[in-house]
Structure 1
């Protein structure tokens, strides 16, 4: 089994690394082209119409995105379609080319899951090994696209079930993430280098400030998650035809762009993240504008992920909160950047490690405190409705079965009340979710 994990984990890492390298290169080229030709943004509604037509005709289950990958980990249903990898890659690049506010983690996870499941079927892996390789695919995609191999491995284990790490998949996930990162870098991809905050010793006063900071992060995470899900559900109900829905979303993004009069909120927004580390006069409204652009883009069906936009929102929010609380601006930006996604994705451990890989070990105690508190305060919700939960965040008995987040009715932090027909693997809760 050890040799099998090493060999297949490495193979998954190689295919994820190559896919991430191609994706990141195309994404950079698309961003450069848009920045050099600002008029391309006006074509976003048309791009939405075309992408919507393609996905409506040939997308099928691929439209499930990250949730399809997570559902497959849990249920072991039919293979994640191999066509997911090229379709989501092209769709995300086009979203960025025309100015949609989206990230890259969703694409990386979906490509990784699709390619890992192809490897699993190719080698006739059993059900347990297949789930472990899917977790490895998530890890390999995440770790290679951000250049954070340790965080990628932990994310692949932590994102599947809220509050539980699937250690049975640790070795293949770590191998896939490390190999994927090495391959991506070896193909010439250079990741963003963020400013390294200065050290700040913990004290009772500092901890108290971080607790207030965490409340602000949790509140924005709830607004983002609820806004995204409610817009998506409302649009699907009122505008069931995907091409029209995406065209309307593209039009709304163009209107927002014209309203604010800046390109800062289009695409990934990496310069905005770096600015949040350095600008003590950053406008308070910056994080809210990026949130609005991203919710509209993703909520109406455009492709991409949430991580980098949430990094932008979290870093700019952290900048503002740090100034209000008398904390260093660069440290506040670093903590907010990681903690907001940790709260929204229910992955506080992975994102705390990711912060260390991105900005250095000095951030660790601070980001861990804020990520954990914000994770609890957001309640039983998240950007991935297919995540399962087997125990309340605030304690209590283990549930009889894992319940998908989408089937919960929850307050913050509130009791769990599952609707009739709750999903999950029935009474087989702890078996091999990876």
Structure 2
């Protein structure tokens, strides 16, 4: 028995050492590529701020992106869904050209004002480089799945400065309701090293702050750690966060399907999308819903950061950002969905806090993570993101918001390749309906 225990521990030690040796160089390469991407992205956004006429070239930029993928993209066009599929069932692999293509086309999207994010780019960079290292290391099929998952963790953790979130996101996003724990160590190492690498290159992430909120309450003269009234407001808001997450996912798919049905010449689809974005900006009279939505183009602009203040968002800012991003991504521009989801959630949280007479910065933070949780079906990762970004003081509310939004967001999400490991409610609703229907 003693020899058996020693043997198992030595095998475990060998596993730890092997995956540490494999994961570190992969994560350093991914972190370096993400740092370059973030630097270029920051340059592109601020260059457009100083040259607002670039927006009028957005239709031409869309056509260029379409042609780049048509000529050179091949399977890379599927983006994050290709990586998820390769983790499920390795096939032709993730093409080497995916990383440079998504980097270039995302920069083009933001340079000309398209409303998109950055996580899709970081995840695709991570998957592409991880697949390249996997071929260099001559890994078998099972290990290739692990290294691809670690690549997702490194890319996500590096782009947002949230290594723990990146770790759990990579494990949780593959299949709804199921986590593959044998990939935990490679993902944790990759997420941490990727984040450290970005910091080592001198790239800094946006800091967010929640005002101090007294969340306690009274019940028959007894002090409670949580106010029932505040909890009810959080639950109500979180249900709406989930419904908006579902609306976003369906809106992107709807725009894509309608565009393919109405416009038969494929390169005209992004041209039409660019024209719609220009028209919406002209009608609204302000550029607040273009690009990433983190930095302010002018004093008083609605951004994710401004939403943390009482007057920092308009009543329908969340809806306009949803429309802008659905049109941008649905017509073929590149980037990601997550940062726009942060924007939608943060501004919706601002609106709901005003309507419910609730703490503004707390509800903005809840919307920030909960809409993302609902759209990606990753409530654990998003709860951790709340803790990493805003601190652990309101962790209970983060968890309540993320899991409530997760249940109210429906069975689908923004990633069509995501599979259902365990159904959210295991068919209970349908059985109940069948039991009582006339």
- Do both share a fold (TM > 0.5)? yes
Task: Evaluate the alpha carbon distance shift between residue 354 and residue 281 of structure 1 in structure 2; reply closer, same or farther with a 3 A threshold.
Answer: closer
Give CA deviations for 1:152-183 in whole Å, capped at 9, x if unaligned. 11101000011111111000001011000000
Aligned to 1:64: 78
Q: 1:293 aligns with which of 305, 311, 324?
A: 324
Corresponding residue for residue 351 of structure 1: 382
Q: Which residue of 1 aligns with 2:407?
A: 376
Match of 1:222 in 2: 246
For residue 279 of structure 2, the aligned residue among 255, 264, 286 is: 255
Note closer, same or farther for the CA distance 1:366–1:131 as it changes in structure 2 (3 Å cut). same
Q: Which moved more, 1:185-194 or 1:276-285?
A: 276-285
Are positions 1:315 and 2:346 aligned together? yes
Match of 1:283 in 2: 314
Query: Which stretch has the larger CA shift, 206-215 or 81-90?
Result: 206-215
- CA drift at 1:92: 0.1
1:233 match:
257
* Aligned partner of 2:191 among 148, 152, 177: 177
Aligned CA distance change for structure 1 residues 48 and 376 (closer, same or farther; 3 Å): same
Per-residue CA deviation, residues 174-212 of structure 1 (Å, 9 max, x unaligned), is: 101100000001001010011233243422222211111
Q: Distance in 2 between matches of 1:368 and 1:100?
A: 32
1:394 alignment partner in structure 2: 425
Name the counterpart of 1:339: 370
Shift of 1:378: 1.3
* TM-score, normalisation: structure 1: 0.90
Is the 1:143–1:180 contact (alpha carbons within 8 Å) kept by the matching residues of 2? yes
Specify the SS of the correspondent of 2:332.
coil
Residue aligned with 2:414, SS: coil
Query: Which residue in the other structure is 1:93 paired with?
Result: 107
Shift of 1:269: 0.3
Q: 2-side partners of 1:11 and 1:47: how far apart? A: 35
Q: Which runs of 5+ in 2 are unaligned?
A: 1-14, 217-225, 296-302, 432-438
- Contact in 2 for aligned 1:95/1:102 (Cα 8 Å): yes
Alpha-carbon distance in structure 1 between the residues aligned to 2:147 and 2:26:
8
Q: Does 1:128 align with 2:142?
A: yes
On the 8 A contact 1:34/1:99 being kept in 2, the answer is: yes
Change (3 A) 1:396 1:31: same
Deviation of residue 281 (structure 1)?
6.3
2:161 to 147, 159, 162: 147
Work out the number of aligned pairs and report it: 400
> What is the aligned counterpart of 1:76 among 57, 71, 90?
90
Deviations 1:400-420 (A, max 9, x none): xxxxxxxxxxxxx758xxxxx
Aligned to 2:209: 195
In the alignment, the residues of structure 2 paired with residue 350 and residue 269 of structure 1 have an alpha-carbon distance, to the nearest angstrom, of: 22
**Separation in structure 1 between the aligned mates of residue 305 and residue 161 of structure 2, nearest angstrom:** 17
Whether the 8 Å contact between 2:372 and 2:382 is mirrored in structure 1 is yes
Residues 1:113 and 2:127 are matched in the alignment: yes
**Does the 8 Å contact 1:314/1:340 carry over to 2?**
yes
Per-residue deviation, 1:215 = 1.7
SS at structure 2 position matched to 1:337: helix
1:361 to 392, 405, 409: 392
CA distance in 1 between partners of 2:83 and 2:263 (Å): 26
Shift in Å, 1:234: 2.1
SS of 1:174 mapped into structure 2: helix
Aligned partner of residue 361 in structure 1, secondary structure = coil
The structure that has the greater radius of gyration is 2
Change (3 A) 1:414 1:89: farther
Inter-partner Cα distance in structure 2 for 1:363 and 1:250: 40
Runs (4+) off by over 6 Å? none
Q: What is the root-mean-square deviation in Å for CA atoms of aligned residues?
A: 1.4
| 2:394 aligned counterpart, secondary structure | helix
CA offset digits 1:87-133 (Å, max 9, x no partner): 00000000000000000000000110011111111111111111011
2 CA distance for matches of 1:170 and 1:190? 26
Q: Give the counterpart of 2:67 among 32, 41, 53.
A: 53
Q: Deviation per CA, 1:39-58, whole angstroms, max 9, x where unpaired?
A: 00000001111111111121
Where does structure 1 lack aligned partners over 5 or more consecutive residues?
Answer: 398-412, 416-434
Deviation for aligned residue 1:363: 2.8
**TM-score normalised according to structure 2 size:** 0.89
Larger deviation, residues 49-58 vs 25-34: 49-58
Partner deviation per Cα, 1:15-71 (whole Å, 9 max, x = no partner): 110011000000000011100000000000011111111111211100001000001
- Residue of structure 1 in register with 2:222 after alignment: none
